[in-house]
């Protein structure tokens, strides 16, 4: 069983209840992101490129519980950043278990072995260990040697102590289908409960912009991975079998970003875990104030055209499975007999072009008059800016959101944001370091070290 029966029953009855209540949008998994800081700097991740005061900030236990109490999803994912670096992670997990939430604590597992004693095995808690393939592929993906071996050791320790353990894998252009299938075999042999797999998404802030797969290439890739019925019958995935059919192109889904709402240090992220269109201060405000029709491939939004990520489409697959008898039977058939997989076409893998940014960002050092556009650019800039106010005050810090009437501003070095009326801002100077550029340098240096170690 990739998921315990109690969890399946809880999720199924929750979704049925939403249907009976006629709710069009409901959360399936709360992505509770308690911090952005991490002990790795992966090439495909766009989450950690922030000034140091933002990376040092985190959601408190109380803020985490408030988010969970606002958002009635039966499952909570704890991504990051690295959640095991949060000083109250054990308390947060205990609070979620007390609320009977099924938790996926997403970790790179570098700290898992030493932190295991903070937790108690529970049917509600699963460690979801980040592994992007076998040792060579995973270490290259996370830009640090030895990471795979350490994660595998931690998985074995966690399993031996009775914890639920799953893996989560993100795949990029250049991944080899045969090696990926080997990795799935290996992960199953470790004795984990199930695997979660997703193609990467082309974050504008990710250091590596060249290795995200285009949509058709993603389908072709997964068809090759799943081509052997003999092998795939031994694989267990803790995700909807209809999502797997979506990945191989057996079926189509549109994105349902409201199914996995994301609450992080800046608030409730609009519209999804990946795009940053601003933040809402409550879950209800997120639902009410987001123009959901602007997102997902069918909307025509260029940012969404090549996206097939788990956090956007898993809830769509679950929704399909519970929307009609036809969907339900398709889900049951795929769960019992495995996903239907078309034969590979033999087409070459093609990288997706990076999504067009909504606007070009000014280079570091630029100074602009304050306008809605320049304040918006300041919000998109991953570095500190200096706001020059009407009384001549110069405020340096990070713009975490820019609305029509106010900006949310984290003064340099501060862990507490301020709100500043846009009418008071006269100029915006892009004065701080661009952390996206810095992330590229760090990831590139890490990859060179991994490659050199491989050669040695």
Residues near ligand SF4 (CB under 6 A) are 255, 257, 271-272, 274-275, 295-296, 303-304, 307, 309, 311-312
- CA pair distance 45, 302, nearest whole angstrom: 20
Which lies closer to ligand SF4 via its Cβ, residue 355 or residue 432? 355
Mention every residue, 6+ apart, whose C-beta is less than 8 A from residue 394. Answer: 386, 387, 388
Q: Which two tokens stand for residue 35?
A: 């911090």
Question: How far apart are CB 295 and ligand SF4 at their closest, in Å?
Answer: 4
Q: Which is nearer to ligand SF4, 307 or 428 (CB)?
A: 307
Shortest CB 276 distance to ligand SF4, Å: 10
Instruction: Give the whole-angstrom CA distance, residue 167 versus residue 106.
Output: 9
**In the bound complex, what is the minimum distance in angstroms from residue 391's beta carbon to ligand SF4?**
40
Cα 240 to Cα 257: distance, rounded to the nearest angstrom: 16
The nearest distance, CB 170 to ligand SF4, in angstroms, is 13
- Least distance to ligand SF4, CB of residue 273, Å: 7
**Between 143 and 275, whose beta carbon lies closer to ligand SF4?**
275
Residue with tokens 């570091």: 364
Beta-bridge partner residues of 262: 31, 269
Q: Smaller CB distance to ligand SF4: residue 7 or 239?
A: 239
Sheet containing 262-264: give its strands across: 194-199, 164-171, 125-130, 102-107, 75-78, 29-32, 262-264, 267-271, 276-280
Q: Find the shortest distance in angstroms from Cβ 40 to ligand SF4.
A: 23
Distances (CA, A) of 242 to 97, 174, 281, 318, 342: 28, 25, 33, 7, 14
CB of 260 to ligand SF4, least distance (A): 8
Using CB atoms within 10 Å of the CB of residue 203, give its burial: 0 to 12 exposed, 13 to 18 middle, 19+ buried.
Answer: buried
Nearer Cβ to ligand SF4 (224/263): 263
DSSP-assigned beta bridge partners for residue 31: 77, 262
Q: How far is the CB of 208 from ligand SF4 (least distance, A)?
A: 17
The residue at minimum Cβ distance from ligand SF4 is: 312
Measured from the CB atom, the residue of 131 and 272 that comes closer to ligand SF4 is: 272
The two beta strands, 418-421 and 267-271, are unpaired
Nearer to ligand SF4, 29 or 274 (CB): 274
Q: Is 78 helix (H, G, I), strand (E, B) or coil?
A: strand
Pick 278 or 296: Cβ nearer ligand SF4 = 296
Least Å distance between CB 254 and ligand SF4? Answer: 8
Alpha helices in 99-176 (DSSP H): 112-115, 135-142, 147-160
- 359/418 with CB nearer ligand SF4: 359
**Do residues 177 and 226 make contact, with C-beta atoms less than 8 angstroms apart?**
no
Return the half-sphere exposure (C-beta side, CA atoms, 13 A cut-off) of residue 418.
Answer: 13
* DSSP letter, residue 30: E
């Amino acid at each position: 069983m990739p998921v315990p029966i109690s969890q399946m029953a809880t999720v199924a009855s929750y979704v049925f209840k939403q249907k009976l209540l006629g709710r069009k949008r409901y959360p399936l998994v709360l992505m509770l992101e308690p911090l952005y800081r991490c002990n790795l700097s992966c090439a495909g991740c766009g989450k950690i490129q922030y000034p140091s005061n933002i990376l040092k900030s985190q959601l408190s236990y109380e803020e985490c519980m408030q988010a969970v109490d606002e958002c009635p999803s039966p499952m909570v994912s704890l991504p990051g950043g690295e959640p095991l670096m949060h000083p109250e992670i054990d308390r947060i997990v205990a609070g979620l278990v007390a609320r009977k939430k099924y938790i996926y604590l997403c970790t790179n597992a570098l700290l898992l072995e030493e932190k295991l004693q903070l937790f108690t095995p529970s049917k509600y808690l699963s460690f979801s260990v980040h592994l992007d393939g076998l040792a060579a592929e995973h270490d290259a993906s996370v830009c640090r040697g030895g990471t795979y071996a350490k994660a595998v050791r931690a998985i074995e320790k966690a399993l031996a102590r009775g914890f639920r353990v799953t893996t989560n894998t993100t795949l990029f252009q250049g991944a080899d289908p045969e090696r990926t299938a080997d990795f799935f075999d290996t992960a199953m042999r470790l004795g984990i409960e199930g695997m979660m797999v997703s193609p990467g998404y082309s974050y504008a802030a990710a250091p590596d912009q060249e290795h995200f797969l285009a949509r058709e290439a993603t389908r072709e890739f997964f068809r090759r991975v799943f081509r052997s019925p003999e092998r795939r019958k031994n694989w267990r995935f803790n995700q909807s079998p209809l999502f797997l059919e979506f990945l191989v192109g057996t079926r189509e889904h549109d994105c349902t970003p409201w199914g996995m709402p994301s609450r992080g240090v800046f608030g409730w992220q609009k519209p999804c875990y990946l795009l940053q269109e601003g933040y809402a201060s409550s879950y209800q405000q997120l639902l009410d104030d987001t123009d959901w029709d602007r997102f997902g491939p069918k909307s025509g939004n260029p940012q969404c055209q090549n996206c097939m990520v788990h956090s956007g489409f898993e809830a769509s697959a679950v929704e399909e499975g519970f929307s009609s008898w036809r969907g339900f039977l398709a889900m049951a058939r795929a769960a019992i007999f495995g996903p239907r997989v078309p034969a590979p076409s033999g087409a070459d893998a093609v990288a997706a072009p990076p999504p067009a940014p909504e606007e070009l960002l000014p280079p570091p050092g630029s100074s602009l008059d304050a306008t809605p556009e320049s304040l918006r650019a300041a919000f998109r800039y991953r570095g500190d800016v200096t706001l020059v106010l009407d009384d001549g005050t110069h405020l340096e810090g990070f713009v975490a959101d820019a609305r029509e009437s106010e900006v949310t501003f984290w003064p340099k070095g501060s862990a507490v944001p301020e709100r500043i009326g846009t009418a008071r801002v006269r100029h915006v100077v892009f004065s701080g370091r661009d952390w996206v550029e810095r992330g590229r340098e760090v990831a590139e240096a890490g990859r060179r070290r991994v490659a050199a170690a491989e050669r040695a």
